[in-house]
């Protein structure tokens, strides 16, 4: 089963690796951000439920985890697409067409800002500077940076995502 549709519960591996990190810090509260990263890596977003689980592992108040989660925009607070696209639209990228690129994603590919496509494959947000200013326009797709984008490169990237998803679906059917 796709981890993103599974029950929202940190695995034993997740809680184990979080516990192992506590010793890196003089104060266990510091392990909250690493905990949020572990939850994010597993589900692609964090919610209150996951924050409670992190709090339980760290033995800290849940509100400490939630207040951190809601401050840091890196962690989406609701489910995103299998391929979450962050288009940098700060000035360096904007000067080289980031806004046009966002429009292109919306109009040609039907991927709307702030939404997940009905098939669950893509979601799109505008992002502030991602420190790739000399390679504009660029976007981050899940963890990977894609730089110096042209319409052709972007089309190719989205095709690769679609075939990857199709491959995953075939594998899932074969296992079922």
Closer of 56 and 166 to other proteins (Cβ): 56
To other proteins, the closest distance from the beta carbon of 118 in angstroms equals 26
CA 138/CA 122 separation, integer angstroms = 17
Q: How far apart are CA 17 and CA 101, in angstroms?
A: 39
Q: How far is the CB of 160 from other proteins (least distance, A)?
A: 18
Residue 106 C-beta: closest distance to other proteins, Å: 13
**What six digits make up the tokens of 6?**
């599974």
Contact residues for other proteins, defined by CB under 8 A? 24, 26-27, 29-34, 36-37, 60, 64, 67-68, 71-75, 90-92, 94-101, 104, 128-137, 140, 143-145, 147-151
* Phi, psi of 82, deg, nearest 5: -55, -35
Would you say 91 or 166 has its CB closer to other proteins? 91
Given the complex with other proteins, which of 99 and 159 has the nearer CB atom?
99
Closest CA to 121 of 153, 82, 75: 82
87 token code pair? 């288009």
């Amino acid at each position: 089963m796709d981890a993103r549709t599974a029950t929202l519960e940190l695995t034993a591996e997740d809680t184990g690796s979080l516990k192992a990190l506590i010793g890196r810090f003089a104060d266990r509260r510091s392990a909250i951000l690493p905990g949020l990263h572990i939850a994010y890596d597993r589900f692609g977003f964090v919610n209150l439920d996951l924050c409670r689980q992190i709090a339980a592992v760290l033995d800290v108040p849940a509100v400490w985890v939630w207040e951190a989660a809601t401050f840091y925009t890196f962690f989406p607070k609701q489910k995103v697409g299998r391929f979450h696209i962050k288009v940098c639209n700060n000035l360096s990228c904007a000067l080289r067409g980031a806004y046009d690129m966002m429009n292109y994603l919306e109009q040609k590919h039907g991927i709307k800002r702030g939404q997940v496509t009905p098939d669950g494959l893509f979601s799109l947000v505008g992002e502030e500077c991602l420190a790739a200013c000399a390679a504009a326009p660029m976007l981050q797709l899940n963890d990977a940076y894609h730089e110096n984008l042209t319409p052709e490169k972007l089309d190719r990237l989205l095709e690769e995502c679609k075939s990857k998803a199709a491959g995953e679906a075939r594998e899932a059917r074969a296992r079922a």
